[in-house]
A and B are shown apart, each in its own frame.
Chain A
Amino acid sequence: MVLITRKIEFSASHLYHNPSFSVEENRRIFGKCNNPHGHGHNYTLEVTVAGEPDPVTGMVLDLKELKEILEREVMQRMDHRHLNYEVPELAGQIPTCENIAQVLWRLLDPKITRGRLHHVRLYESPDLFADCYRNGAAPAGKQ
Chain B
Amino acid sequence: MNSALKLELGRRYRFSASHRLHTEHLSEEENNRIFGKCNNPYGHGHNYVVEVSVSGDVDPATGMIANLADLDAFVQHQVLDEFDHKSLNEDVPAFRDIVPTTENVCIEIFRRLKSFPKAKLERIRVEETGKNSFEYAGDDPEGNLP
Interface size bracket, B side: 20 to 34
- Which partner residue on chain B sits nearest A142 by CB separation? B137
Does B47 belong to the interface (CB within 8 Å)?
A: no
Other-chain residue from B6, B11, B13, B123 in contact with A135 (beta carbon distance below 8 A): B6
- When distances are taken between beta carbons in the complex, the residues of chain A under 8 Å from B135 are 141
- Which partner residue on chain B sits nearest A96 by CB separation? B63
Does B58 belong to the interface (CB within 8 Å)?
A: yes
Query: Is the Cβ of B11 less than 8 Å from the Cβ of A127?
Result: yes
Query: Is the Cβ of A99 less than 8 Å from the Cβ of B63?
Result: yes
- When distances are taken between beta carbons in the complex, the residues of chain A under 8 Å from B2 are 102
Interface size bracket, A side: 20 to 34
Query: Is the Cβ of B3 less than 8 Å from the Cβ of A135?
Result: yes
Does B61 belong to the interface (CB within 8 Å)?
A: yes
Query: Is the Cβ of B63 less than 8 Å from the Cβ of A98?
Result: yes
- When distances are taken between beta carbons in the complex, the residues of chain B under 8 Å from A18 are 61-62
Query: Is the Cβ of A126 less than 8 Å from the Cβ of B12?
Result: yes
Binding site for A on B (CB under 8 A): 2-13, 53, 58, 60-65, 67-69, 122-123, 135, 137
5 of the cross-chain contacts (CB-CB < 8 Å) are A29-B62, A96-B62, A98-B64, A102-B2, A130-B9
Binding site for B on A (CB under 8 A): 16, 18, 20-21, 29-31, 93-99, 101-102, 105, 121, 126-137, 139, 141-142
